[in-house]
Chain A
Amino acid sequence: MVIESREDIVRVFDVFRAGIDERNDRRERIIKLSREITIQSKRVIFLIHRTVTDDNQSTISPDETPYQKAAKTAHGKLLHIKKSFILPLKAELISEADYWENQRSVTPGIQEFIEAVSYYHYFETDRLITHHEMEGWLTDESGNPILPLPYSEFLLGLSDLTGELMRFAITAIARGGGRAKSESVSEFVRRCNSDFERFTPFVRDLWKKQQVTRQSVLKIEQANYTVRLRSAEFQSDPQDIDRLVQRTMLQQEPPYHRRDLDTEGDDYMNT
């Protein structure tokens, strides 16, 4: 039925306006939650990072490794994020259709949350979180999903985890006593990096994250090389090697900044 008159147009556009306003308002609320999830998740990642790279070992009780301690504190914080910011998403994303309509708005927060949870999960269990386990974090008390977790989303979040772990490995290798952990972490990341490689054709922008991970892998390989070479050459005691490695890491340009604080999230923060 064609629109006959100006009055008809006004009537029809009035309906459009109501629909558009409602969707825009909802999107704003979702973006707000997503942003909060991002901020809080970053804090958890920092917290884990600080705890596991804490030089002052005296603050840690003898029967608990720094990794266990980090996992324990992080767990509570992650549950808090879930309760306060992810659960409220349920009210905005009532059906799966709502999720897909607003995916671009939720995705930055959810990816950051996946990164934080998987980082925690790694120190808790020494392995990669599975898709199913991650879904558990996005489920309400009665076992219903708060929102779907597409594989692409899951992989992009994990891809940030590898970057985070490399940052940890690089800090740990330059620190006395952290070398064994650093080695197992970098081995873990290498495996992830190669596992993820096959997904890059299917997941948009995954290749970019893969490249970032690769840079870190190269860096840690260089450090391992130095350790091996110097210890073969001088047979020196571990402390000397620690100092040598520290110096090598410092010489490598540029100083290692947290990439995601500088750039990540800008694209939606500005909108």
Chain B
Amino acid sequence: MDPNELEKITTALEQESTLREKLRDASSDLEKGTRVMMAALMAIHSTPKTEMPALLETIVPVRETCKAPMAVIAELVPPNQYWRWKDIYGRHVQNFVFVVALCEYLSSHKLSSLQDISDALDLKSEWHDRVHVQVEDYLHGVVSVVNELSRLAVNSVTMGDFEEPFKIHTFVSDVFTGFSMLNLKNDTLRKRFDGLKYDLKKIEEVVYDLSVRKLGPSKSAVLP
């Protein structure tokens, strides 16, 4: 290989590698934040309803710390190269979606939209070609929320909250309806979607157990 060519390629590859390192650092900052929040949210399974708002409050400041790494990523990634670098931090974005959507459910019983997530990360629309929350990552996060809620359905009964499983049931059925509309290719998201029916089944069992014992809310709320 011609020495100039060799030099040119080496320099370019070294620059790429430096960029990758910097992105990894930003990604790891993002991960720190999401891990802390996920750990804190594990407590929902033993937190009575009355104390839930206080628990969710503790998440908010950590959530704010996730904005900075995303701004760093937006700064680093060259124009049009979102897809080239997203694998470095995509997993943590999925976890972030999980955190935000779970908190939203716990406070309002509603589903966070993709836009909500972008807003929570303070993503600017003009960054779209460099960094954004991709639909699949959003969906992964939502699946994780459902996984978590099927567990919460069981544990809320244990804590004496007999209404929550019914709300979870409504929410999860709605989400499941949404997912059923998608034509997913054979990838991890597809596999995780296939697993959703077991979560739904588990929640239905809890709802059933409560219903036969007439422990739930009024009958009209039970039937979808």
Q: Are A14 and B5 in contact (CB under 8 A)?
A: no
- Known A10-B178, A191-B1, A201-B17: A95·B10 in contact at CB below 8 Å: no
Chain B residue at smallest Cβ distance from A100? B83
Q: Which residues of A contact B135 (CB under 8 A)?
A: 16, 19-20
* B residues near A128, Cβ cutoff 8 Å: 1-2
Contact in complex: A3, B113 (CB < 8 Å): yes
Return the chain A residue nearest B16 by Cβ: A202
B178 close to A12 (CB less than 8 A): yes
Complex Cα gap A155–B10 (Å): 11
**Interface-located stretch among B27-35, B160-168, B179-187:** B179-187
A97 touches B83 (CB 8 A): yes
- Indicate if the CB atoms of A9 and B174 lie closer than 8 Å: yes
Q: Which residues of A contact B183 (CB under 8 A)?
A: 17, 20-21, 24
Asked whether A13 and B181 contact (CB < 8 A) given A2-B116, A4-B110, the answer is yes
Asked whether, in the complex, the Cβ of B82 is within 8 Å of the Cβ of A100, the reply is yes
Judged by a CB distance under 8 angstroms, whether B159 is at the interface is: no
Q: In the complex where A20-B183, A97-B83 touch, is A199 in contact with B13 (Cβ < 8 A)?
A: yes
Residues of B near A1 (CB, < 8 A) are: 113, 115-116
Q: Are A9 and B178 in contact (CB under 8 A)?
A: yes
**Interface SS of chain B:** helix
- Render A18-43 as a binary contact track against B, CB cut-off 8 A, 1 for contact: 01110010000000000000000000
Question: Which of B81, B136, B177, B181 is A100 in contact with, Cβ under 8 Å?
Answer: B81
Q: Give the residues in chain B near A258, CB-CB below 8 Å.
A: none
For the A-B complex, the count of residue pairs with Cβ-Cβ distances under 8 Å equals: 97
Interface residues of A in 132-171 (CB under 8 A from B): 151-152, 154-155
Number of interface residues of B (CB under 8 A): 42
Q: Does A96 contact B (CB under 8 A)?
A: yes
CB of A195 within 8 A of chain B?
yes
**Please, how many residues of chain A have a CB less than 8 angstroms from a CB on the other chain?**
39
A130 CB contact (under 8 Å) in B2, B83, B114, B139: B2
Shortest CB-to-CB span from A144 to chain B, Å, is 15
Evaluate contact between A97 and B80: CB separation under 8 angstroms.
Answer: yes
- Chain A hits for B71, CB < 8 A: none
A131 touching B5 in the complex, CB below 8 Å, given contacts A2-B113, A97-B129, A203-B13: yes
Contacts of B116 in A (CB 8 A): 1-2
| Residue of chain A at shortest CB distance from B135 | A16
Mark out the residues of chain B between 61 and 102 whose CB falls within 8 Å of any chain A CB in the assembled complex: 79-84
By a CB distance below 8 angstroms, the chain B residues around A20 are 135-136, 182-184
| Distance between B125 CB and nearest chain A CB, rounded to angstroms | 15
Which of A4, A9, A201 contacts B177, CB < 8 Å? A9
Q: How far is the CB of A159 from chain B (nearest CB, A)?
A: 12
Query: Is A257 an interface residue when CB atoms closer than 8 A count as contact?
Result: no
Among the interface residues A19, A128, A202, A271, which one has the most CB atoms of the partner chain B within 10 A? A202
* 6 nearest A-B residue pairs (beta carbon): A13-B178, A100-B83, A202-B13, A96-B80, A2-B110, A3-B111
- Partner-A contacts on B (CB < 8 A): 1-2, 5-6, 8-10, 12-14, 16-17, 79-84, 104, 108, 110-116, 129, 135-136, 139, 174-175, 177-179, 181-186
10 new A-B contacts at CB < 8 Å, known A97-B80, A191-B1: A1-B113, A1-B115, A3-B110, A13-B181, A16-B182, A17-B181, A20-B135, A96-B81, A100-B81, A198-B10
Can you pick out 25 interface pairs between chain A and chain B where the beta carbons lie within 8 Å of each other?
A2-B108, A2-B112, A3-B110, A4-B110, A9-B111, A9-B174, A9-B175, A9-B177, A14-B181, A16-B181, A16-B182, A20-B135, A20-B136, A21-B183, A97-B83, A97-B129, A130-B5, A151-B13, A152-B13, A191-B1, A195-B6, A199-B10, A202-B13, A203-B13, A271-B186
